Amino acid sequence: MKKTRFTILTLVFVIVSTSACWAAQNGKDKVLAKVGKYQLTLKQFNDQIRSLPPQLQMAVQRNPQLKKQLLERWVQLNLMAMEARKENLQDKPNVKKRIEEMTNALLAQEYMRENISDKAKVSDTEIKEYYNKHKSEFIQPEQVRARHILIKVPANADKKKWEEARKKALEIRAKILKGESFSKLAQKYSDDPGSKARGGDLGYFRKGQMVPEFEKAAFSLKKGQISKPVKTTFGYHIIKLEDRKPSKQRSFKEVKQEIRQKLLRKKQIKLRDEIVSRLKKKYPVTMNEGLLGPSSQPNDSVHNSLKNKK
């Protein structure tokens, strides 16, 4: 929890700090803070928060104390920046280089906003046409919701350990068949930390999200049915099928925004590539990729794991 909070503070601090400005204010804006010739208005502060990703926005909006900390960090940053200028730290070669790099990044971001983000538009007609031509992309596959109790077997365990785990799984399954609560038994016996506290609940998942042995067993069950012990690389699982959702065609309303973002991103990439191609002809560019060393092929193997496993 502390790590998450620190990450939020760090990210927001970096963004909010960019709102430092010279003392020239709109008369309608309330000044939230001043540090020497710099000032931060309430509108600037709120605008910067609204520019954050949704999860960070929510975290800040729900926590007044966090807002106070952000404001204090803005003050600290500008105090230290003023003192750094007084000591002429901005004239140090390494600092000059970093300032130039940060300035370039900011200018490039603004250039992209004006020439790409603000110009790439997607109409409702385009979205509808895409949906009608690509309906197969928006078929929601069959999903099941299951609980499980994992009796974990350590890596490189011998046959004896595997047999002990199987017998324990059978004993727990017998308790379930006699009427004991699957959820409570999962909380008591399961070795899966990701689902143990939720009574073994894995939520909904589709084919391809679980290890093959687990998936095959789960999808073969009827609603409410309890599996025999299922062996996977993790150990032995007892699985209970809670619910099943059949495959269905997602409606246009459900996927409209998803399509809009997809088409918008496609247009933005096209505009960006055209701009970069034009600029490469306008300005000299040299790249010596050989200095990066020999390229290695990425590992394409995909290892499935149980949902919510840690």
Q: What is the pLDDT along the chain (310 residues), one digit of tens a residue?
A: 444 455 555 555 554 455 444 444 444 678 999 999 999 999 888 888 887 777 888 888 888 888 888 889 889 999 999 999 999 999 999 999 999 999 999 999 999 999 998 899 999 999 999 999 999 999 999 999 999 999 999 989 999 999 999 999 999 999 999 999 999 999 999 999 999 999 999 999 999 999 999 999 999 999 999 999 999 999 999 999 999 999 999 999 999 999 999 999 999 999 999 999 999 999 999 999 889 888 655 444 333 456 544 4
Token pair belonging to 276: 């970069």
188-194's contacts with Cβ under 8 Å and 24+ in sequence apart are 189/149, 189/151, 190/148, 190/149, 190/150, 191/150, 191/151, 191/152, 191/235, 192/148, 192/149, 192/150, 192/152, 192/234, 192/306, 192/308, 192/309, 193/310, 194/306, 194/307, 194/308, 194/309, 194/310
Token pair belonging to 237: 């699982």
Distance CA 232, CA 210 (A): 10
Distance CA 31, CA 39 (A): 7
Provide the β-strand partners of residue 150: 237
Residue 186 phi, psi (nearest 5) = -65, -45
- Report pLDDT for 65: 87
Residue the block writes with tokens 């069959």: 142
**Closest Cα to residue 185, out of 147, 230, 219?**
147
- Report pLDDT for 283: 94
DSSP 226: B
- Report pLDDT for 47: 85
Q: How many CB atoms lie within 10 A of CB 228?
A: 13
DSSP 283: S
Distance CA 195, CA 190 (A): 8
**Closest Cα to residue 306, out of 194, 197, 228?**
194
For residue 146, what are the contacts with CB-CB under 8 A and spacing of at least 6?
202, 205, 218, 221, 239, 240, 241, 242
Q: Is 252 exposed, middle or buried (0-12, 13-18, 19+ CB in 10 A)?
A: middle
Residue the block writes with tokens 């490189």: 156
Token pair belonging to 232: 């996977």
Please say whether the beta carbons of 182 and 199 come within 8 A: yes
Token pair belonging to 195: 């689902």
Distance CA 87, CA 95 (A): 13
- Report pLDDT for 63: 85
Please say whether the beta carbons of 35 and 79 come within 8 A: yes
- Report pLDDT for 11: 52
Which stretch of DSSP H or E encloses residue 140?
A: strand 139-140
- Report pLDDT for 17: 52
- Report pLDDT for 297: 55
Token pair belonging to 80: 């230290």
- Report pLDDT for 264: 95
